[in-house]
Amino acid sequence: MWEARPGRKAGGCADEVTLSCKGAKSRTSGRNLRSTRTKAITHVDRFRASNTDLEDQLKASRRELAEAREHLAEALEQQLATSEVLQVISSFPGDLEPVFQSMLENATRICDAQFGNLYLCEGDAFRIVAMHGAAPAYAEARKRNPLVRPPPDSALGRVAITKQQAHIADVKTTRSYIERDPFLILGADQGGYRTIVAVPMLKNNELIGAILIYRQKVEPFSDKHIELLNNFAKQAVIAIENTRLLNELRESLRQQTATADVLKVISRSTFDLQAVLDTLVESAVRLCDADMAAIHRLRGSIYEHAASHWLTPAIRDYMTKTQFEPGRGTIAGRTALERDVIHVTDVQDDPEYALGASAREMGARTMLGVPLLREGIPIGMIVLMRRVVRRFSDRQIDLATTFADQAVIAIENVRLFYEIQEKSRQLELASQHKSHFLASMSHELRTPLNAIIGLTEMMCTNAARFGTEKAQEPLRRVNAAGTHLLGLINQVLDLSKIEAGKLELNPQSLQLAPLIDDVVDTARQLAGQNKNRLVVETQENLGALTVDPMRLRQILLNLFSNACKFTKQGQVTLRACRVLADGRDWIDLAVADTGIGMTAEQQAKLFQDFTQADSLTARRYGGTGLGLAISRKLARIMGGDVTVASEAGKGSVFTVRLPVGLEKSAAV
């Protein structure tokens, strides 16, 4: 066994020991023992040093782990804050206030700041739109004066100049604070802030605002805090842009809806202009964010009140009695004078505005006048008013211009409607006078004309008796001309009766075959004039027909006359048959010829009053262009129609279709 010598301590490894084996006290053995002891001590020292290094490494690892955990916690907190802000943005589309409040609350908490502000650019100034954690006195002062112009060495002033972040360790060391600038005195003395960091809100490198957080002690913010604040600024820009786009979309939809509503009113209120103008001023006030609106219309050389919205009864009564002339003393007069949009920021500060007392009574400050132009002439104007000094936006001016255009459309529609009504009344009166004149003229002409026809017939018949053989041929010509003239007079009289609605029918139930035979006998003389052959093709047992026989005979003779006139040495055919169409029994009477025929263009105007196929045909064949027009009118009065089928050079077919039973009234 190993034992320690008396008086010595036993070592952890090899010490001075007593060897019981042979040769233990030899010199060589002693050296070996001393060497072994030295090595053991070296190993122990090394082990102890290794333990110390391990302990140091362990402590360092624990520190690194703690820092990593701290960084992870910070990163997690920042991510949670960012996620919360994004959730607020998605939960409140179009509403920036909760978004800004969430940003400031998270920024001040994570960055260990006492309070924060968010500003938006407004011209050359900043307007505070959100605050969090500020002292009551400071918050109240900022709310009373939200529009600020910070000094250039303040954090907000630096952002305005450089569009970059600004970090001030102690605001009380700035020159502006030392010189007692009100902006910084309010913040440092009432807000109690010392350290400030401000980050810009940029859109396409354009400054639209800034976020600021404050500490009430001198303690600069870390780079991580500033980086977080920059992320919030970017999110704020996204939220602002989303809100702008959403609001523009909503505004556009409102405007389109309002425009559609006005157009509906215009279409439904053709005769009620007042309803349209009332709708226009109401829509203009609502969509252009105005307090009052009025429309004035041109009456002679002055403009009078026509419609208004949100005017008090007293002011409306005053406006109704006021007449505006072109001139610079009023917004309406100035609009008429310039024939363009007039936009006055504050009429109470406008030296040219002559209705100062009235404007103060109405409370009008900012006013907008838009002309109602028709062919460049102002026929009126729409005037919008605000009780605060705030200019109308370009979009609102465009919308007011649209309303003005719609007012012009409505006014023009009503004007044209009444003009058309007046023209129609005049035309109806003229038509009545014409009908009375034609009826009177026809009656007056027929009496002497019948006498001439009768006298010439008698003289031709008794030429030998009266010794007028030499004058017989001229007398026949006079008789023929008189007969033709009488036919024309009868046609004109028929046309006037039809147009006046005073044509009387005499319907009778009769067998159709005898009437056809009678008409054909008369038509043979017409066919013989141009050496035409007359053919009749009728269905057996045509039966009875209820019709005005005189008017049907007139229609058929007109058709035969036309066919024989435009056909030479050809054939004219009459076809008669019964047909079933549209659940009713009809009689078709078709007159076909092999004459000159017609083009489609000629057929299109064939049945117009006093119109023939073309001027060349009229000169060559004569006629008034009334026969076919009257024939179709008569057929339609009896419940039927006259149609044509023709081809140039191949003849024409005119078909009269009449109902078997006459259902129309005898007095038309």
Q: Considering only 8-17, 368-377, 474-483, 542-551, which range has the smallest mean pLDDT? A: 8-17
- Whether residue 315 is predicted with pLDDT greater than 70 in this model: the reply is yes
* pLDDT (0 to 100) of residue 270: 62
pLDDT at residue 626 in the model: 73
Among 308-312, 335-339, 377-381, name the one with the lowest average pLDDT. Answer: 308-312
Cα separation, 170 vs 217, whole angstroms: 8
Cα 549 to the center of its chain, rounded Å:
60
Higher pLDDT, 320 or 211: 211
Averaged pLDDT, 534-563:
87
Residue 26 has pLDDT above 60, yes or no: no
Average pLDDT on 391-417 reads: 89
Residue in 142, 111, 141 with CA at minimum distance from that of residue 129: 142
Q: What is the pLDDT of residue 406?
A: 87
Q: How many Å apart are CA 590 and CA 6, to the nearest integer?
A: 162
Structure tokens at 432: 């009545």
Closest CA to 511 of 545, 539, 557: 545
Catalogue the E-assigned strands of 425-529: 508-511
Residue 472, C-beta contacts closer than 8 angstroms, at least 6 positions apart: 459, 460, 463
Token pair of 187 as six digits: 């913040």
Could you tell me the two tokens for 212? 């600021």
Give the separation between CA 575 and CA 542, rounded to whole angstroms.
11
* Ordered DSSP codes for 279-303: HHHHHHHHHTT-SEEEEEEEETTEE
Confidence class of residue 32 from pLDDT cuts 50, 70 and 90?
A: low
Label residue 21 by pLDDT band (50, 70, 90): very low
Instruction: Give the pLDDT of residue 92.
Output: 62
- Phi, psi of 133, deg, nearest 5: 80, 5
- Residue 239 contacts residue 214 (beta carbons within 8 Å): no
Q: What is the reported pLDDT for 13?
A: 42
* Amino acid in the structure at residue 42: T
Q: What is the mean pLDDT of residues 259-283?
A: 79
Cβ atoms 255, 283 nearer than 8 A: no
d(CA 638, CA 252): 58
* Single-letter residue type at 10: A
398, two tokens: 């465009």
Which of 216, 181, 182, 177 has the alpha carbon at shortest distance from 196?
216
**Whether residue 59 has pLDDT greater than 90:** no
- pTM here is 0.47
Nearest Cα to Cα of residue 289 among 387, 204, 187, 215:
387
Q: Which residue has the higher pLDDT, 571 or 414?
A: 571
Report pLDDT for 22.
Answer: 46
The per-residue pLDDT for 60 is 76
**Percent of the residues in the chain that have a pLDDT greater than 70, as a whole number:** 77
Nearest Cα residue to 231 out of 342, 85, 359: 85
Q: What is the pLDDT of residues 475-500, one digit of tens each?
A: 777 766 676 666 667 766 666 667 66
SS (H, E, C) 129-165: EEEECCCHHHHHHHHHCCEECCCCCCHHHHHHHHCCC
pLDDT above 90: percentage of residues in the chain: 35
pLDDT band at 196 (very low <50, low <70, confident <90, very high): very high
Greater pLDDT, 366 or 75:
366
Average pLDDT of the residues of the chain:
81
What value, to the nearest 5°, has the Cα angle with vertex 297 and ends 296 and 303? 80
Q: What is the mean pLDDT of residues 277-306?
A: 91
- Report how far residue 441's alpha carbon sits from residue 161's, in angstroms, rounded to the nearest whole number: 96
| Least trusted range by pLDDT, from 132-141, 216-225, 581-590, 658-667 | 658-667
H or E segment at 362? helix 356-362
pLDDT of residue 378: 95
Confidence of residue 540 (pLDDT cuts 50, 70, 90): confident
Is the confidence at residue 424, as pLDDT, over 50? yes
pLDDT at 81 over 60: no
Distance, CA of 298 to CA of 332 (rounded, Å): 11
pLDDT in tens, 292-313: 999 999 998 899 999 999 777 8
Amino acid in position 626: L
Give the integer Cα–Cα distance in Å for 460 and 466: 9
Average pLDDT over residues 587-607: 88
Please give the average per-residue pLDDT across 588-605, as a whole number: 89
